[in-house]
Chain A
Amino acid sequence: MARYVDVRVSGFQEFNQAVEQHKGKTIFAYFTGSKDAEGKSWCPDCELAEPVVLDGLKHIGEGCVFIYCQVGERPYWKDPNNDFRKQLKVTAVPTLLKYGKPQKLVESECLQASLVEMIFSEE
């Protein structure tokens, strides 16, 4: 049995479904610009942060949930009324956060392995 649950979603609706499904557990969410057919994101910072964040998963606590969420295409993201911005207060990609808690890493913070380790391992 895996130490933690790894969920991959695209878009706001799928994200909420995943959160609902795992209600009651500690949920970490990583938001990235969506990837193209070649697996590359329109967001250059996300490309840089992803390996750091995925590597940081080794610090995640037992029984936690990690939701990897592709937010959508660039025009959707840039729209100030997009659901992530309005309802989740996620205003930048990449963002790594602990759902329902104040712990959050935004943009260049996601590139720092020590900060990623800290957010995953904190009690």
Chain B
Amino acid sequence: MIFSKSYCPHSARVKELFSSLGVAFNILELDKIGCVHAHQSGLLQTLLEEKSHASAYDYDLIVIGGGSGGLSCAKEAAIWGKKVMVLDFVVPSPHGTFWVKHNWETMIEAIQKHIGSLNWHYKSSLREKAVTYVNSYGEFVADHKIKATNKKGQEAYFTAANFVIATGERPRYLGLPGDKEYCITSDDLFSLRHSPGKTLVVGASYVALECAGFLIQQLESGSPGKLKVVAKSTEGRETIEDIYNTVLLAIGRESCTRKLGLEKIGVKINESDIAASIMLCSIRFPQESELKATVGATCDYVNVPTTVFTPLEYGCCGYAEEKAAEVYSKKNLEVYHTLFWPLEWTVADRDNNTCYAKIICNRLDNDRVIGFHIFGPNAGEITQGFAAAMKCGLTKQLLDNTIGIHPTCGEVFTSLEITKSSGLDISQKGC
């Protein structure tokens, strides 16, 4: 099964390679059907049905990887009466951490317990649907055959008519000598035996910001070894030199397709392979009724709401200002914005002007809201609601006609007046 886009040159090369090797394959052109979830479009079901008479194999479907993608796929196939196996295995990070119990925060223990009970819940709900869930590392050894190795190194072999690779991503390392020995990643953070102490976070996207936000709330002098870091700016002469207890790498994630034995069945690996043009945890658990209904439905990749869960959250849906200007041209846009002060921040010395709300409107389309941005408490919750409104074609006028709930943060969006282009002051003077 190749997940591809019709216009993508990498996909074209993979298809050519398969053809030249004479390996049979199915293609799912994501830009044509629009939806990332093959099983939602009904294609997976069709594939499985085609081969259901092939009882020569142990299973109808083996899913490699028990994350959100793998599990929902396995469950769906099981509901259709297929014999399914899921192979799930957490390869220890170079620091060899599994879910180790430790003492640096009681909260960490609670997190581990929660994860443990979630995992157990997933496993038992799979088992209830007669999906065989195995805690082993799966890799291909021959056509239609995989080897499953468990924690103890015991090997077992299974065959299936079809396979789904849902191994997801793991954090990327720097690719420098010593990076695995001296640096940790988000994988390690929640199983550290000690408080990380003074930490340098490398990276500035979701994972980096959220980890930093989490750590800042746990300020404690750490006991781990000291690391001297020298950093040089790529844009100037500035150098930073400091000593840290911990260096946390959050510089992106890469797909785990390298050690699956894919070369043994003639599959060459490309960069960023696993079908994830959006590398986020945006959840969609398909209902049975949706399976047929979503055939041919377009999946909107622009209006995907997201949130960075830093101590003060940032939520957004639609375009960033820069991107909107690229797509629609700056003159066709009107940006409304304001700083705001959540009423619940009653502490006198808390700055009135920390939280920020912004919408980007397309003047050529009834002032359609094409970008929504909020930085403030509960931004995630707020963004979820407005994302639905944007799907319904929210315009500035509709927003203005919406009655605000007082006192909430979200209500600022119903009374936005100042445009960015006016240059007027948006700071708040107090309640």
Contact = CB atoms under 8 A, between A and B. Distances in A.
Interface of A: 101-105, 109, 112, 114-115, 118, 122-123
B116 interface: yes
B124 A109 contact: yes
A89 to B, nearest CB: 11
Contacts of B150: 123
Nearest to B132: A114
B111 to A, nearest CB: 12
Nearest to A122: B135
A122 B130 CA distance: 17
Interface string B127-170: 11010010100000000000000111000000000000000000
Chief secondary structure at chain B's binding surface: helix
B420 interface: no
Contacts of B130: 114
B103 interface: no
A118 B116 contact: no
Interface of B: 113, 116-117, 119-120, 123-124, 127-128, 130, 133, 135, 150-152
B124 A101 contact: no
Contacts, number: 29
Most A-side CB within 10 Å, residue of B120, B128, B135: B120
Contact of A102 (B120, B128, B133, B152): B120
Contacts of A114: 127-128, 130
A104 B119 CA distance: 12
A115 B113 contact: no
B133 to A, nearest CB: 8
9 contacts: A101-B116, A102-B116, A102-B117, A109-B124, A109-B128, A114-B130, A115-B128, A118-B133, A123-B152
A79 to B, nearest CB: 26
A122 B123 CA distance: 11
B127 to A, nearest CB: 5
Given A102-B116, A104-B120, A115-B127, 12 more contacts: A101-B116, A102-B120, A103-B120, A104-B117, A112-B127, A114-B128, A115-B128, A118-B123, A118-B124, A118-B127, A123-B151, A123-B152
Given A102-B116, A104-B120, A118-B123, A123 B135 contact: yes
B49 to A, nearest CB: 25
A114 B127 CA distance: 7
Contacts of A105: 124
B151 A112 contact: no
A48 B197 CA distance: 54
Nearest to A101: B116
Nearest to B131: A114
A24 to B, nearest CB: 14
A112 B128 CA distance: 8
A105 B124 CA distance: 9
A118 B127 CA distance: 8
A54 to B, nearest CB: 19
Nearest to B135: A123
Contacts of A101: 116
Contacts of B117: 102, 104
